[in-house]
Each structure stands twice: as structure tokens, then as C-alpha cells.
Amino acid sequence: MRSSSAQFFDSDYQSKTSKFLQVLHIDPVLLAGLLILMACGLGILYSASDGSIDIVYRQLVRLAIAFVVMFFVAQIPQHQFYIWAPWFFALGIILLILVLVAGDVGKGAQRWLNLYVIRFQPSEMMKLVTPMMIAWYLCEKPFPPKVTSLFISLALVILPTVLIAKQPDLGTALLVAAAGFFVVFFGGIRWRVLFGVIVSMLALFPVLWQFMHDYQKQRVLTLFDPGSDPLGSGYHIIQSTIAIGSGGIYGKGWLNGTQSQLDFLPERTTDFIFAVFAEEFGIMGAIVLLVIYAFIIIRGLYIAANAQDSFGRLLAGSLSMTFFVYLFVNVGMVSGILPVVGVPLPLVSYGGTSMVTLMAAFGMLMSISTNRRLVAK
């Protein structure tokens, strides 16, 4: 392998700390990015929760758990993910069907599977397993992928997406579809085919519209005219745009956001926490926050580009881009350019379900990143 000798020399110059981190399968750059982001997140959560140390503490516990998960996932060698991919995928599909048949209904949607010990959300697991599966499928195929491989990949994306959308959980379905799509994108789909797919997707939108639930349609419509329903589904958008807009350039200052502190902003600790941030820190703060996110995403893509094999590349690339989609959809929805779908601001929003999945994904990235070096030795 060409890169192995270069790696070997590289490692001579590495400090003791970074060697130690390597043994632990930790990517120090990614870790630093995550820690900075989480610290900002806790600070803004304190403000969004009206100064509740209790909520911050609970979030801290969740972060700690998520970190442990990340650490353990990072220890799993990359080829294990490859071996497990089809099994996990099959299991995930079975669980998704089970949820539809026998799931618990929470907030009007069936997302949970009650295992009596824990309540489990199989759709969450599909965010990781779908890209694993498609990477597993595509990495062995000749390059660039043929039309038949593309169709099979498409089917592998659509199956879990439709099952999740039926629960209905539009936000998660979107993220799973995006994760699958990015594997195909990195897998070398030809540009003209890609554009063809995007154009036909747009053309298919009216068809999709027929299958949407009333509340989902309402959210899309409200996007174009939030004033039409100021106390219903438009309320969220109106209040969050007021919060963001009134933040101005420098913001109202930490703990001083009137929109959020006075209970106007709904779901301000969860999906709409970005509005609190933008109100209190203004556009300067928002730029800093987006730069931190961009740093993490680009580091993820860097890890992907330097991965040992095709499977690692595709998986790492897809996971990084899914993280970006999280961010984009959340900020887009809070600032009123995308419909309100339930996507949290990754690693900042209060709540534990998505946190663990996200950190498991970063665990995979770290495994992919550090694995290469170990083999090199």
C-alpha cells in the first residue's frame, strides 16, 4: 500500500498524547470540534431553559452517555461494520415493520417499540444502518456503478425511508434518505444521472403531496404564508423569525433574549434552540456556530477522503454529509425557509434519542480514521 510508508514516517513525529489518542481510536481534531460545540450547546441550553441547572445537568448526563457510546463504537474495527451491515439492515427493516404493526403511539405517531426493558426507536438506528448497507453493496461493485446497481441502491434507500415516513416521522425519513443518497453520490454516480434523478424527484413532488398527512401539508403551506395560521402551525415560524430577527448583529446578550425568556418561543430547548442562540448572540454568534459545525463536517470529509478502503470512504462521507443535512434542515426550518419537520439541532438540542445516534456515527468516523493507521503499523 502506497500510503502506509508515509503514515509510518508520520507517526515518528507524533507526540505522546496523540499516540495515546490513537491507541484509544480517538481522532483529536474531531474530538476538539465536538467538545467545543457541546460546550456552546450547554451554555445556550441553560439560557433556553430559563436558567434551569437541572436541565443542563440532565443534558450533561446524556452527553456523557453518548460519549461512552462513541468511544465504544470507535473501538470496533471498520471491517466489522462491513460484516454486520446486511444483518443490521435486515434486522432494522423487520423492526420497522414491527413498529408499524405493534408500536407504541407517542404524540400521534408510532415510532417506538416497547421492549419492556427499554423503549426503542428503530428508525433512529436506520440513520446509521442504511448508509452502512448501501456502502456495503456499492463498495464491491465495479466503478463507476452501473444502472442496475444504482437501481438496487435506490431500492435500499427507499424501503426504510417509506417505512419510517409511514409512522409518520418525516424528519427521520428525510435524514435516512439523505444518508443513503450521499453514499450513492460518493459511490461515483455520473453527474448527468445525478441531475436526472434530482430533476425527476422535483417532478415527483406533486405525487408525493398526495401521500402526505394533512398536518404535513399544513406545515409546507405555512412555510409560504406563516400569517395564514398565526396561532396554529404558523406560530412556531412567526415566533422564531421574530426571535432571530430581533437579535440583530450582536444579539441581546446571554440570558437576555426576550422572545425566548418570556415563553413566546415554543420548543425552545429542543427543535427551536437555534432561535434562542441567534436572538441572544446575533448574526456574529450564528456565524461562529456555523463555522464550528462546518469545521466538524469538513474534518469528517477529510477522514472519508483518507479512509483505507472504499467501504470506509463511502460510509464516512455519507455520515459527515448527513450531519450537515441535520444542521441545514434545522436552521432552515427555524429561520423559516424550510417546513417544520422534527429535526433537532445536532448535539445542541435538549433530548437524548438523536444524541446517541449522532455520537455513534462519530464513533464510526473515528474508527474509520484511526483504523487506517493501526493497519499501517
Partner 1 sequence: MPYRSHVSDHSYEASIFKFRAIVAAIICILMLGGLLMRLSWLQIVDYAHFANLSEHNRIRLMELPPTRGLIYDRNGVILAENKPTFHLEIIPEEVEDMEQTLKGLAEIVTISDSELERFREQWRVRRSFQRISLRARLNEDEVAKLAVNRHRFPGMDINARLSRHYPYGKTAAHLVGYVGRINQSELTVIDEGNYRGTTHIGKTGLEKYYESELHGQVGRQNVEVNAQGRVLRVIDKVASVSGNDLVLNIDIELQQIAEEMLGELTGAVIAIEPHTGAVVVFVSNPGFDPNLFVHGISHKNYDALQHDVDKPLFNRAIFGQYPPGSTFKPFLGLAGVEQHHFGPRESLYCKGHYLLPDDDTERKYRDWKKEGHGMVDLTKAMEQSCDVYFYELAYRSGIDEMHDFMARFGFGERTGIDLLGERKGLLPSTEWKKRVHRTVWYPGETLIAGIGQGYMLSTPVQLAVATAALASRGEKIVPRLLKEVHNSQDDTVKIREPSRTMINLRNDNHWQLMFNAMKKVVHGNLGTARATGWGMKFKMAGKTGTAQVFGIAQDEEYDEETVAKKLRDHALFIGFGPVKDPVLAVAIVAENGEHGSKMGPISRDIIKRYMEKYAKQ
Write the single-letter amino acid at 340.
Answer: V
Half-sphere exposure at residue 181, Cβ-oriented, CA atoms within 13 angstroms:
16
Q: Which is nearer to partner 1, 142 or 206 (CB)?
A: 142
Q: In the complex, what is the shortest distance from the CB of residue 185 to partner 1, in angstroms, rounded to a whole number?
A: 7
Write the single-letter amino acid at 177.
Answer: A
Q: Which residue stretch of 158-166, 185-193, 204-212, 351-359 sits at the interface with partner 1 (rule: CB under 8 A)?
A: 185-193
Q: In the complex, what is the shortest distance from the CB of residue 67 to partner 1, in angstroms, rounded to a whole number?
A: 24
Q: Quickly count: other Cβ atoms within 10 Å of residue 88's Cβ.
A: 19
Judged by CB under 8 A, which of 7, 18, 246, 353 binds partner 1?
A: 246
Do the Cβ atoms of 278 and 247 come closer than 8 Å?
yes
Q: Which is nearer to partner 1, 31 or 333 (CB)?
A: 333
Q: How far is residue 316's CA from residue 318's CA, in Å, rounded to a whole number?
A: 5
Under the criterion CB under 8 A, does residue 77 sit at the interface with partner 1? no
- SS3 (DSSP) at 104: strand
Q: 113 pairs with which residues across the strands? A: 120
The residue assigned the cell 441550553 is 45
**φ, ψ (nearest 5 deg) of residue 109:** -135, 145
Write the single-letter amino acid at 248.
Answer: G
Q: In the complex, what is the shortest distance from the CB of residue 279 to partner 1, in angstroms, rounded to a whole number?
A: 8
Q: How far is residue 181's CA from residue 157's CA, in Å, rounded to a whole number?
A: 7
Q: Which residues of 113-138 are buried (b: 16+ CB within 10 A; e: fewer)?
A: beeeeeebbbbbbbbbbbbbbbbbbb
Site map 281..320 versus partner 1, x via CB under 8 A: -xx--xx--x--xx--xx--xx-xx----x--xx--x---
Q: How far is residue 49's CA from residue 37's CA, in Å, rounded to a whole number?
A: 18
Please tell me the count of residues contacting partner 1 according to CB under 8 A.
55
Residues 6 or more apart in contact with residue 271 via CB below 8 angstroms: 330, 333, 334, 340, 342, 343, 344, 345, 349
- With vertex at residue 135, the alpha carbon angle to CA 132 and CA 137, rounded to the nearest 5 degrees, is 110
Tally of helices (H runs) and strands (E runs) in the chain: 15, 3
Under the criterion CB under 8 A, does residue 35 sit at the interface with partner 1? no
Grid coordinates in use for 368? 474509520
Q: 109 pairs with which residues across the strands? A: 106
Judged by CB under 8 A, which of 91, 245, 270, 353 binds partner 1?
A: 245
Q: Which is nearer to partner 1, 237 or 359 (CB)?
A: 237
Q: Which residue stretch of 28-36, 93-101, 138-146, 151-159 sits at the interface with partner 1 (rule: CB under 8 A)?
A: 138-146
Q: Which is nearer to partner 1, 204 or 284 (CB)?
A: 284
Q: Which residue stretch of 63-71, 140-148, 156-164, 170-178 sits at the interface with partner 1 (rule: CB under 8 A)?
A: 140-148
Q: How far is residue 97's CA from residue 3's CA, in Å, rounded to a whole number?
A: 44
Residues 50 to 69 in contact with partner 1, rule: CB under 8 A = 50-51
Under the criterion CB under 8 A, does residue 155 sit at the interface with partner 1? no
Judged by CB under 8 A, which of 159, 244, 319, 361 binds partner 1?
A: 244
- Polymer length of the chain: 377
Q: In the complex, what is the shortest distance from the CB of residue 203 to partner 1, in angstroms, rounded to a whole number?
A: 22
Site map 92..131 versus partner 1, x via CB under 8 A: --------------xx------------------------
Q: Which residue stretch of 81-89, 147-155, 243-251, 361-369 sits at the interface with partner 1 (rule: CB under 8 A)?
A: 243-251
Enumerate binding residues for partner 1 (CB under 8 A).
50-51, 106-107, 142-144, 182, 185-186, 188, 230-231, 235, 241-249, 258-259, 262-264, 278, 282-283, 286-287, 290, 293-294, 297-298, 301-302, 304-305, 310, 313-314, 317, 321, 324, 327-328, 331-332, 335-337
